[in-house]
């Protein structure tokens, strides 16, 4: 049987596409409210755009190959490097701060599981050219507001916020060296999913002593701004390192979103390029992977395009979100969009029905008719299956009297309407 999509790839039947379109429409609406402009880039990119910049995990998952011209290419696994290249190329001309959003389809060769596929669509919102925490707060607010637009409240979803500068400062203060930080980040990132003994082993292998390992676990245990501030107060540079996180959390409170937000230092993010605030949105049930993830990445444009521009942004996938929406909402149905189904009584009525259909469609009215001669009963059956609200029936008697029979397909009631009116799309 050749009738199956590849594992991790989806067929979008009309009802599935209705859900996808509803998600995209809400994403676009929230992006509009925040003043973001939509952009897009190519789905196929030079391989080197990702190697060395996105981090090992994503590079392992690339769909990469050599094209017929011998170029090493990859299907985009994320949008951020493309955005960095595009902005880098026109950096002088663009008015900062840039607020751009995109809805790319992305490809990662992942182990398929619930909420994790090999292709997904992702809302990306990014602010470029603003280094201060107001931009971080703005983006986290946009991510939360997107969830609110889907009618999720603080009892359903929450944002967990951390800051890599805070993590760095606390870990260096706890005796770790700069070279040990990546391992410490990895352990903190895994601390909720992997038992402590296994994590201790990773630390030990990286040459991190018992006392320093203790500070890694302590940092991973902080779940509030107060706890983080108290720990920062004890280390050199702590006050400065926590400033951005404090301001961001305060701004979200001022915007009325405090209930959605918690400070949680276990959020590190897998991608290598983050430099400051990092955050993820989860469902409160915590059954699924993150709905959304993002953060500040101030060095990526410099690495890709040689231009110094601070950035902050997030990606929100359609897969986890779709699962949550399906769990709580009625099935999404492809909208039935027919204004009328035109019925020809006999062969002689087919040409007048075609003329009428063409005229109505020119006026923007949605109509369909049977594509072969059929008994009226069959045609009405098809009309009902299409969800048309009315059938417009044309037969020899009607043509002679210059009328059409308009039948309400819900009530079954019908009445005659002058053809001059019907041609204008007036069915009463
Ligand atoms: P990410 O955390 O890799 O970040 O992906 C963001 C979101 O996309 C995830 O939270 C998840 O909902 C969804 N997602 C990722 N991979 C899959 C998958 N295999 N199947 C289903 N959904 C998936 C990034 O991609 C960053 N580039 C986001 C960003 C934009 N950071 C700054 N600007």
Three-class secondary structure of residue 235 per DSSP? coil
Per-residue confidence at 330, pLDDT binned at 50, 70, 90? low
Residue 331: pLDDT band (50, 70, 90) is: low
Rounded distance from Cα 298 to ligand 1 centre (Å): 18
CA 242, CA 239: separation in Å to the nearest integer? 6
Q: How far apart are the first and last CA of the chain?
A: 51
Q: What residue owns the CA closest to ligand 1's atom 21?
A: 116
Has residue 59 got a pLDDT over 90? no
State the Cα–Cα distance between residues 388 and 382, nearest whole angstrom: 9
317 lines ligand 1 (CB under 6 A): yes
List of residues 6+ apart from 381 with CB closer than 8 A: none
Mean of pLDDT values over 177-186: 94
- pLDDT at 39 exceeding the cut of 70: yes
Q: What is the pLDDT of residue 78?
A: 96
Ligand 1 centroid – CA 317 distance (Å)? 6
- Residue span(s) of the chain under CATH 3.30.930.10 come to 14-327
> What is the per-residue pLDDT across 339-377, written as a single tens digit (0 to 9) for each?
999 999 999 999 999 999 999 999 999 999 999 999 999
DSSP per residue over 188-205, as a string?
Answer: HHHTTTS-HHHHHHHHHH
Residue 116 DSSP symbol: B
Nearest Cα residue to 367 out of 359, 411, 335, 375:
359
Does 3.40.50.800 match the CATH number of domain 14-327? Answer: no
Count of all residues that appear for the chain in the document: 428
Between CA 350 and CA 407, with CA 334 as vertex, the angle to 5 degrees is: 40
Token pair 């500070």: residue: 215
Contact 166, 242 (CB under 8 A): yes
Angle between helices 181-190 and 210-220 (to 10 degrees): 50
**98-102 and 119-128 strand pairing:** antiparallel
> What would the mean pLDDT of 299-323 be, rounded to a whole number?
95
Q: What are the φ and ψ backbone dihedral angles of 217, each rounded to 5 degrees? A: -65, -35
The rounded distance, in Å, linking the Cα atoms of 92 and 219 is: 41
- Coil vs helix vs strand at 343: strand
> Given a cut of 70, is residue 299 above it in pLDDT?
yes
pLDDT of residue 69: 97
From-to residues of CATH 3.40.50.800 in the chain = 340-422
The DSSP H or E segment spanning 420 is: helix 419-423
What is the per-residue pLDDT across 87-99, written as a single tens digit (0 to 9) for each?
A: 999 999 999 999 9
DSSP annotation of 113: B
Looking at residue 104, what DSSP letter applies? -
Looking only at the bridges linking them, the beta strands covering 403-408 and 390-394 are: antiparallel
Nearest ligand 1 atom to alpha carbon 79: 27
How many whole angstroms separate alpha carbon 94 and alpha carbon 399? 62
Measure the CA–CA gap between 119 and 276, rounded to whole angstroms: 28
Confidence (pLDDT) at 334: 66
Q: Whose CA is nearest to atom 18 of ligand 1?
A: 116
Q: At what angle do helices 164-173 and 181-190 cross, to 10 degrees?
A: 110
Q: How far is the CA of 198 from the centre of ligand 1 (A)?
A: 26
How far apart are the C-alpha atoms of 397 and 11, rounded to whole Å?
A: 47
Q: Is the pLDDT of residue 317 over 70?
A: yes
Q: Is the pLDDT of residue 336 over 90?
A: no
> Comparing 133-137, 191-195, 391-395, which segment has the lowest mean pLDDT?
191-195
CATH number of the domain at 340-422, out of 3.40.50.800, 3.40.50.300, 2.60.40.1170, 3.40.50.850? Answer: 3.40.50.800
Q: What is the pLDDT of residue 332?
A: 66
Can you give the pTM of this predicted structure?
A: 0.93
Q: Tokens representing 343?
A: 């019925």
Cα-to-chain-centroid distance, residue 135:
20
Provide the pLDDT confidence category of residue 114 given band limits of 50, 70 and 90: confident
Give the Cα separation of 167 and 296 in Å (integer): 14
Q: Which one, of 9, 18, 81, 16, lies nearest residue 44 by Cα?
A: 81
> Which one has a higher pLDDT value, 270 or 46?
46
Question: Does the Cβ of 110 fall within 6 Å of ligand 1?
Answer: yes
Each residue of 249-266: pLDDT tens digit?
999 999 999 999 999 999
Q: Determine if ligand 1 sits within 6 Å of the CB of residue 126.
A: yes
Residue nearest to atom 20 of ligand 1 (CA): 116
Q: Give percent above pLDDT 90 in the chain.
A: 88
Radius of gyration of the chain (CA): 29
61 C-alpha vs ligand 1 centroid, how far in Å?
Answer: 13
DSSP string, 253-284: HHTT-GGGEEE-TT---S-TT--SEEEEEEET
pLDDT confidence tier of residue 326, bands split at 50, 70 and 90? confident
Res 1: pLDDT: 62
Rounded Cα gap, residues 203 and 89, in angstroms = 41
Is 78's C-beta closer than 6 angstroms to any atom of ligand 1? yes
Q: How far apart (Å, rounded) are the C-alpha atoms in residues 33 and 417?
A: 44
pLDDT tens-place string over residues 197-245 = 999 999 999 999 999 999 999 999 999 999 999 999 999 999 999 999 9
Cα 298 to Cα 273: distance, rounded to the nearest angstrom: 8
**Please, what is the Cα angle at 49 between 44 and 55, to 5 degrees?**
115
Question: Please, which pLDDT band fits residue 163 given cuts at 50, 70 and 90?
Answer: very high
Mutate to test the pocket of ligand 1, among 293, 297, 298, 323 (most ligand atoms within 8 A of CB): 293
């Amino acid at each position: 049987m050749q009738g199956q999509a590849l594992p991790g790839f989806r067929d979008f039947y009309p009802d599935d596409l209705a859900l996808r379109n509803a998600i995209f429409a809400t994403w676009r609406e929230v992006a509009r409210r925040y003043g973001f402009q939509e952009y897009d880039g190519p789905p196929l990119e030079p391989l080197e755009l990702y190697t060395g910049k996105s981090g090992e995990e994503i590079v392992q998952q690339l769909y990469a190959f050599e094209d017929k011209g011998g170029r090493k290419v990859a299907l985009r696994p994320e949008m951020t490097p493309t955005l960095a290249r595009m902005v880098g190329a026109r950096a002088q001309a663009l008015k900062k701060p840039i607020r751009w959003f995109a809805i790319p389809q992305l490809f990662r060769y992942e182990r398929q599981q619930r909420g994790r596929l090999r292709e997904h669509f992702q809302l990306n919102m990014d602010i470029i050219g603003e280094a201060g925490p107001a931009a971080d707060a703005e983006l986290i607010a946009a991510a939360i507001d997107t969830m609110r637009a889907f009618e999720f409240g603080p009892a359903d979803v929450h944002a967990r916020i951390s800051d890599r500068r805070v993590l760095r400062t606390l870990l260096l203060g706890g005796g770790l060296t700069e070279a040990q930080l990546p391992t410490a980040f990895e352990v903190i990132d895994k601390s909720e999913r992997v038992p402590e003994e296994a994590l201790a082993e990773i630390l030990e292998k990286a040459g991190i002593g018992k006392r320093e390992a203790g500070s890694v676990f302590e940092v991973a245990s902080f779940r509030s701004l107060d706890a983080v501030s108290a720990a920062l107060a004890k280390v050199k540079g702590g006050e400065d390192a926590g400033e951005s996180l404090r301001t961001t959390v305060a701004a979200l409170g001022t915007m009325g979103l405090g209930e959605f937000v918690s400070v949680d230092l276990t959020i590190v993010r897998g991608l290598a390029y983050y430099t400051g605030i990092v955050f993820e949105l989860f469902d409160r049930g915590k059954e699924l992977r993150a709905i959304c993830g993002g953060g500040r990445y101030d060095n990526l444009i410099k690495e890709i395009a040689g231009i110094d521009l601070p950035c902050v942004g997030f990606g929100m996938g359609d897969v986890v979100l779709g699962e949550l929406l399906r769990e709580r909402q009625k099935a999404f149905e492809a909208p039935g969009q027919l204004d009328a189904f035109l019925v020809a009584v006999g062969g002689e009525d087919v040409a007048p029905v075609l003329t009428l259909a063409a005229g109505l469609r020119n006026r923007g009215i949605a109509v369909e008719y049977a594509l072969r001669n059929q008994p009226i009963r069959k045609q009405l059956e098809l009309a009902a299956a299409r969800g048309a609200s009315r059938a417009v029936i044309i037969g020899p008697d009607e043509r002679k009297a210059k009328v059409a029979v308009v039948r309400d397909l819900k009530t079954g009631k019908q009445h005659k309407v002058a053809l001059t009116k019907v041609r204008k799309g007036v069915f009463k």
